[in-house]
Structure 1
Amino acid sequence: MKTLHEHAALSAQLADYRQQGQRIALVPTMGHLHAGHISLISAARQHADIVVATIFVNPMQFGPNEDFDSYPRTLEADQQKLAEAGCDLLFAPTIDTLYPQGLSHHTVIHVPEVSAGLCGQDRPGHFDGVATVVTKLFNLVQPDVACFGQKDYQQVAVIRKMVADLCMSIDIITVPTVRAADGLALSSRNSYLSPQQRDLAPRLYATLQALGQKLPHHHLSALETEGYQALKAEGFKPDYVEIRALDLSPATAATKAWVILAAARLGETRLIDNLIIAEELTPLGGFQASR
């Protein structure tokens, strides 16, 4: 696996791949990789000849009181994991490479509607940062396909809409969430949890599952309140528990499938998760989004 840090070297290598007629998949990450990221590499391999991963801790998507400075940076370990997973190329730019003029004068991509509410309410500007850096990576790599994890459900919805609205010819593949044996969704931020918090963390997903068993026969707002209170009783500080249609529009009486989304804190660690439920009350593992 090659590791590149500069635009020119990346462009030259990608041009060589394209000259050979090879289909390119992109897996954007912020590093500190775990099995969930590796599942994205595996999915990308199923859809392309060449798999390109990126590692970039994007300052634009972090708020002023968030964990940008302390976010784990583990490049050497990540390189080994990617190589073992069969990744062909890693692009790991510096901040100066992607934002040579700094952030304050940089063009920002804003995706309306799906960026609002949920994590967008609790992390203002976060999805503008996500949309901007993903657009930059899409422009630099020009992939045929890109893979993202279902755990970041709202993020995937933002990227889907951005790709559609800006007429980007990229297939977006959503890969089901990878979980620990006790149900906790894998996340780079799980490493922040104390042993006691780690023992409690699976209750987030268990709460979503309990709510899902009651759909569609209970009032949605009552279920949301129930879930919120249940998390508080377990020791979480919930930001939200919401039930939406799969496209994140408000669920109505005509909705036949729902996504239950939640964000909650254990100490200083913010956890997010979601569960898709169909009308027959069967949890669905993943959803696909295409151009």
Structure 2
Amino acid sequence: MGKIHRGHISLLEKSKLESPESSIIVSIFVNPLQFDSKADYDSYPKSFERDLRILEENKVDFVFSPSVDEMYPCGFDEHTLVSVPYISEILIGKVRKGHFNGVATVLGKLFNMVKPDFVVFGEKDYQQLALVRKMVYDMNYDIEVLSSSTERESDGLAISSRNVFLSEEDRKIAPKLKETMESTILKFLSGFTFEECTKFFREEMRKFGFSDDNFSVLDSVSLKEISPRSELAIAMVSARLGRVTLLDNKIFPLPEKRSNFSKNNLLKRSSK
């Protein structure tokens, strides 16, 4: 959506590796339809001229940057919405009602207007990636959906445009999200129940000053409960630090013995 950073550059690099002869198109559009409030939309970091310079330096062929009026000529109240069932309603979607309808709607419009052969999304926003894959499949878009691994700072923090809102002190604490996620996964794999893992994650997050924390373990493809057919699981975590909600995730293989996995990985908010 803008405020280009190293994570976005990695998407460009993935595109060039995938198809060196293809034209690379970057869309820059801060989508009002996916924000919880006008205040959140107005405060989202925007740096259009800076972004254009960075994209030019990285040899991007085209930038598609429509106006809000071009995207929503009839306004928001009368605009057709795209909704992807289930994926839009869990995890982030459970807290941010309507957020993923806004994401799916704007992506559907961008796909129709640009008509790409393939698109690249980052794995940091894994729920969004899963939503795009499902929408493209269900709607028969002739588009290949590729993913790029999460780019991180030297201390492990997942790079995000919203990280600029972290205070100096919170920035030092932020990497604890990834560290605690990985410690919790180890407990999960060693036989601790999901309830015990959730309790551990919550206690660690609160100790470091986080709030509104969530720890979930799901099938990495469907984002549903792990089943006997599941081969890979994904731990998905979120927590609020100051004014910023941080996200992270990690995919890991499941062992053959899964006695502690039955019905213990359903979405559960660890704080109310």
Normalising by structure 1, report the TM-score.
Answer: 0.83
Which residue does the alignment assign to 1:251?
Answer: 226
Q: Helix, strand or coil for the counterpart of 1:33?
A: coil
What is residue 116 of structure 1 aligned with on the other side? 89
1:220 is matched with which residue? 194
Greater CA deviation, 130-139 or 223-232?
A: 223-232
Map 1:188-207 to 2 at 5 A.
188-207=161-180
Deviation at 1:221, TM superposition (A): 3.0
Moved more, 148-157 or 261-270: 261-270
**Secondary structure at the counterpart of residue 242 of structure 1:** strand
Rounded to whole Å, the distance in 1 between the matches of 2:252 and 2:208 is 23
Superposition pairs of residues 267-282 of structure 1, within 5 angstroms: 267-279=242-254
Q: Moved runs in structure 1, 4+ residues, more than 6 A?
A: none
Distance 1:66 1:224, change over 3 A: farther
Secondary structure of residue in 2 paired with 1:50: coil
Give 1:41-56 correspondences, 5 Å limit: 41-48=12-19, 49-56=22-29
What is the alpha-carbon distance in structure 1 between the residues aligned to residue 109 and residue 45 of structure 2? 23
- Deviating more after overlay: 61-70 vs 46-55: 61-70
Confirm or deny: 8 A CA contact 2:121 2:147 kept in the other structure. Answer: yes
1:231–1:238 CA contact under 8 A, matched in 2? no
Q: 1:270 corresponds to which letter in structure 2?
A: T
* Alpha-carbon separation, structure 1, partners of 2:223 and 2:232: 11
- Amino acid of the residue matched to residue 40 of structure 2? D
Residues 213-261 of structure 1 show CA distances to partners (whole Å, capped at 9, x for unaligned) of 2342222232123212211121001342111110211124654321111
> Does residue 72 of structure 1 match 2:10?
no
Task: Indicate conservation of the 8 Å contact 2:201/2:215, yes or no.
Answer: yes
Instruction: Give SS of 1:73's match.
Output: coil
Instruction: For residue 94 of structure 1, report the CA deviation from its aligned partner.
Output: 1.0
Residue identity opposite 1:34 in structure 2: H
Partner of 2:5: 34
> Higher relative CO (CA 8 A, sep ≥ 6), structure 1 or 2?
1
AA aligned opposite 1:39: S
Shift in Å, 1:117: 1.4
SS at match of 2:125: helix
Q: Is 1:107 the equivalent of 2:110?
A: no
Distance 1:276 1:66 in 2: 34
2:212 pairs with 223, 238, 249, which one? 238
Cα distance change, pair 148–54 in 1 and its aligned pair in 2 (3 A)? same
Paired residue secondary structure (2:44) = coil
1:63 is the counterpart of 2:36: yes
Q: Deviations over 1:124-161 (max 9, x none)?
A: 00000000000000001110100000000000111111
CA distance 1:263–1:202, change in 2 (3 Å): same
More displaced, 99-108 or 232-241?
Answer: 232-241
Aligned residue type for 2:176:
R
Letter in 1 for 2:5: H
| CA distance in 1 between partners of 2:186 and 2:246 (Å) | 22
| Deviates most, 42-51 or 119-128 | 42-51
Q: State the partner residue of 1:263.
A: 238
> Is 1:185–1:273's contact at 8 Å kept on the other side of the alignment?
yes
Q: Paired residue for 1:82, among 52, 55, 58?
A: 55
Could you tell me how far 1:64 is from its partner in structure 2?
2.2
Can you give the 5+ residue segments of structure 1 that lack an aligned partner in the other structure?
A: 1-29, 281-291
**CA–CA separation in structure 2 for the residues paired with 1:141 and 1:179:** 30
The SS at the match of 1:168 is coil
Inter-partner Cα distance in structure 2 for 1:220 and 1:245: 14
Which AA in structure 2 matches 1:35? R
Letter in 1 for 2:49: E
Residue 65 of structure 1 deviates from its aligned partner by 6.6
The farther-off stretch of 266-275 and 35-44 is 266-275
